[in-house]
Every structure is written in C-alpha cells, then in structure tokens.
Amino acid sequence: MPLKIVSDEELNKELENVSVSIPPSVSSVSIEQIKNPGRSKGDKNVPRAIQKIIGETANLESRQDAIELAKELQISHDSVDAYSAGATSLATYNNKNEDLLSHINSRKLLSAKKAQSRLLQAIHHITEEKLINAKPDVLATVAKAMSSIVKDMEPDSTTQNGNNGPTFVFYAPRVAKEESFDVITVRE
C-alpha cells in the first residue's frame, strides 16, 4: 500500500487484505487532523534534483515536455515556470536560486557548444565546388543561412553604449548665483 492519508473505511479494507497478524496490543487506529495544512515557511517539498531536471527540460526541450514531467510528479505548472527561470517558486521568482540557475545555464551552454560544433562541421563541408555546381535556390538558401550566422556571431553594435537608438545631449544654461556678480554700491 502506498503511503498516503486514507479514510477509516479504506484503512479497514486494506487491513483485511493484509496477511500479517496484528498484535492484540494494537486495538484501534486514530486519525489526527493536521493543524496547519499546506507548506510551512521554508519547507522544500520538491528535491533540488527534481527542480533541476524540470528546469533543464523546460529550457532545452520544451515547456510542454516539462509540464508533462511535472504532471507525472504531481508538480504544478507554476512551479515549472519558476524552475525554468532558476527560482524555486513563483513567490521567489525575482530571487533566483544560484544552484538551480547555474545548473540550467551550464546545460544551456553545453547544448550551445554542441550546436556550434555541428555548425562548424556543416560550414566546413560547404566547398567552393559545391557552391559552383549548386542551383540558384540552393545558393540563396545558403546565403541567407550564412548571413544569419554572421549576424548572430557579430557583437551587437546598438547595445554598446547601453541604448538602442541615437544619443541626444541637451545643454541647459547655467543658473547664475548672486555671488558671481560684482557688487556696485549706488548712492541715492
């Protein structure tokens, strides 16, 4: 029998199926109500390893796969969103868990390195002879793909100065203080 809270009827029904004899000293079983149901403050019900797996699945495979995995483990959709962002719950969404976040980022980096390796292999196999013998639609596809690779690899020039547009500098006249003027005494 799995471990869970059951009603008296379910308990008695299960005890009837048990072949082990119950000692006579145990005459009855009592069920106690939990005083404060739910998660108490600081209680971590989901192990960190499960949080890492769900966060990794959401980032590297898909959110839907992570939700299906979480559903099997009886974890909410909100927790999937939190784990994928490196937080342990939506309540702590802005305070990221460093252990969880570093795990997700390291897995993303590993996937990016694998993809970069495959990309370099693919570029290496594009020879001049293949380009000369290619049809115009294939050449157009290769050119478009190469231009997007170049765009992704170049540093973004619009964010170098911290903004995305032109920089305007406005000069305001200095406000003169009374002390900066010469004092002239006039007789009446």
* Structure confidence by residue, pLDDT tens digits, 50-71: 889 999 999 888 889 999 988 8
Q: Which residue has the higher pLDDT, 28 or 49?
A: 49
Picking from 1-10, 58-67, 105-114, 175-184, which range would have the lowest pLDDT averaged per residue? 1-10
Q: Which residue has the higher pLDDT, 64 or 11?
A: 64
Q: Which residue has the higher pLDDT, 75 or 31?
A: 75
14 is written with which tokens? 């299960």
Q: Give the tens place of pLDDT for each residue, 126-150.
A: 888 888 888 989 889 988 888 888 8
Residue 22 has pLDDT above 80, yes or no: no
Distance CA 188, CA 185 (A): 10
Q: Which of 142, 122, 124 is nearest to 133 (CA)?
A: 142
Q: Which of 51, 89, 86 is nearest to 70 (CA)?
A: 51
pLDDT value of position 73: 86
- Write down the pTM of the prediction: 0.49
Q: Where are the alpha helices (DSSP H) in 47-97?
A: 48-60, 63-72, 77-84
Confidence bin at 174 (pLDDT 50/70/90): confident
Picking from 92-101, 152-161, 162-171, which range would have the lowest pLDDT averaged per residue? 152-161
Q: Give the tens place of pLDDT for each residue, 112-128.
A: 888 888 888 888 888 88
Average per-residue pLDDT in the chain? 80
159 is written with which tokens? 């964010």
Distance CA 16, CA 14 (A): 5
119 with 108: CB under 8 angstroms? no
Instruction: Quote the radius of gyration of the chain (alpha carbons, Å).
Output: 34
pLDDT value of position 94: 82
pLDDT value of position 2: 58
Distance CA 12, CA 179 (A): 96
